[in-house]
Structure 1
Amino acid sequence: MSKRLEGKIAVVTAAGQGIGRRTAERFAEEGAKVYASDLDRAKLEGLDALGITTEALDVTDKEAIRAYCERLPTPQVVFNCAGFVHHGTILECDEAAWDFSFDLNVKAMHRILSALLPRMIEAGGGSIVNMSSAASSIKAAPNRYVYMASKAAVVGLTRSIAVDFVGKGIRCNAICPGTIESPSLEGRIADLGKSVGGTDKAREMFVSRQPMGRLGTPDEIANLALYLASDESSFTTGTTQVIDGGWSL
């Protein structure tokens, strides 16, 4: 191991499964002291074997975030991964769906960063990595109305933090994945399968739109997050890093 994050403290949300979990593991493997949270504490099981400190956290709860961040040491890396994919057009998006999507996909990042950013600046800076999506301001996807709106907002949030604090040692970048193998995707495949003749057909539909002929993996996204978290990307800020197998071409 090259220990690319040796000596760094990293905070990772939604670390119980998929991209969040694999990223927490990669950060720890590369020498970071990782503080990982998830709404479902049971999903965090096993991360402690890598020396990762875990805790249940509802990132839509302002007071819970405040208390959690007060207990953390000042991080050099923050990976905001929590998110939700709402399926449907504007016609299927009521007020509750809109509010929940923006609360989890955007405002949760605002809460975490509001609590940690002042301390990061005081300590000399750090790297913030936010999870957006290729289905945002990058690529239009059908039936993703509020998801696209919220993930485009993440891009704006990211660029705003990058430009406001570039002179204070803070770097902030967004990752925009395409279709990635994950428990979230499996849920969407199951839902789609009900209307298209089964999960095998639904999976084929997801794969067929990929120019590379396959889906991405959490490991591939985690490796990009690792690069953005490390000093190797020290001249990179305010970017939207598209990693979608050519889907947005």
Structure 2
Amino acid sequence: MAKRFDGRRVLIAGAAGALGSAAARAFAGEGASLFAADHDGAALEALAAELQFDAGRHAVTDVTDDKSVAACVAAAEVALGGIDILVNASGIAGPAGMMIDCALEDWDRLFAVNVRGTFLMCKHTIPAIRRAGGGAVVNYASSAGLAGDDSLGPYAATKGAVVLMTRSLALNHAPEGIRVNCVCPGSIDSPMLETCFDREAAHGGERDAIRARYLAGHPIGRFGLPREVAAAVLFLASDDAAFLAGVALPVDGAALA
């Protein structure tokens, strides 16, 4: 039986993280050919072994560095014979606290990874998708990028930038048959979420109370799962979403409803 992504060639940045690896597993299960990129070489090797990537189909990549990204995309295009889909799952959460208390180096690092990294991956990969005859880009934003956040304001600012970057790219490239969308996850059960709890607790809060506050913000009554975000990513990348471009899709258990 044919699978949804048979014959599709997918480049995933941030592929070794909790959300990126969930997307990699989902695409692989649906028949896609994958090229995985991440800054964490050991985690990338583990993912490659799990999914049985060929040796030339993953690359340690610094998404903040133009030359590193260009080399990654060039390697992916050669290894896969072209690129049809880009998934930008790279991202960091940054410090907790009042926005104006954010150290400048933390601010710059957040924007380097979350915004510059997404931009560079799009800048270098969209021409490859154009050469392939069209396709799709799915960026990872956040529900915080749609509504703001009182304790993770700098992170929210970066994800708001990703949302508007996505919409602008959609306007640029929809006429070429390249659809650009983003997912906006709420609180997802992952190491990043646990880090958020830890960082807020370091400012004097009680960790269990912080967790309960996050949970109460999701009317569905639980945190999301990485595979649930992956399901949304695969939908946006698929032909089922052929008329969707410029969409910022919340995956947040009604948190923004």
Q: Do they fold alike, i.e. is TM over 0.5?
A: yes
Q: Hey, what does 1:42 align to over in structure 2?
A: 42
Residues 50-103 of structure 1: per-residue CA shift (max 9 Å, x gap): 233332211112111111211112211100011111223232223222221111
1:248 has 2:256 as partner: yes
> What is the CA distance between 1:2 and its match in structure 2?
5.5
Alignment match of 2:227 (pick from 219, 226, 237): 219
CA distance change for structure 1 residues 90 and 200 in 2, over 3 Å: closer, same or farther? closer
Q: Is the 8 A contact 1:25 1:47 kept in 2?
A: no
Instruction: Kindly provide the amino acid, as one letter, of the partner of residue 189 in structure 1.
Output: F
Q: Hey, what does 1:183 align to over in structure 2?
A: 191
Q: Is the 8 A contact 2:97 2:200 kept in 1?
A: no
Q: Is the 8 A contact 2:38 2:61 kept in 1?
A: yes
> What is the CA distance between 1:169 and its match in structure 2?
0.8
Q: Which moved more, 1:52-61 or 1:215-224?
A: 52-61
Alignment match of 1:56 (pick from 42, 60, 75): 60
Alignment match of 1:236 (pick from 238, 244, 247): 244
Alignment match of 1:94 (pick from 95, 103, 110): 103
Q: Which moved more, 1:86-95 or 1:112-121?
A: 86-95
Distance 1:196 1:28 in 2: 41
Q: Hey, what does 1:118 align to over in structure 2?
A: 127
Structure 2: segments with no counterpart, 5+ residues: none
**What RMSD over aligned residues (CA atoms) do the two structures have, in Å?**
1.6
1:19 has 2:19 as partner: yes
Distance 2:227 2:8 in 1: 21
Q: Hey, what does 1:76 align to over in structure 2?
A: 84
CA distance change for structure 1 residues 149 and 32 in 2, over 3 Å: closer, same or farther? same
Aligned residue pairs: how many?
A: 247
> What is the CA distance between 1:12 and its match in structure 2?
0.7
1:139 has 2:143 as partner: no
Distance 2:161 2:249 in 1: 15
1:103 has 2:96 as partner: no
Residues 143-197 of structure 1: per-residue CA shift (max 9 Å, x gap): 2222111111111111111111111110000101110001111122233344333
TM-score (norm 1): 0.93
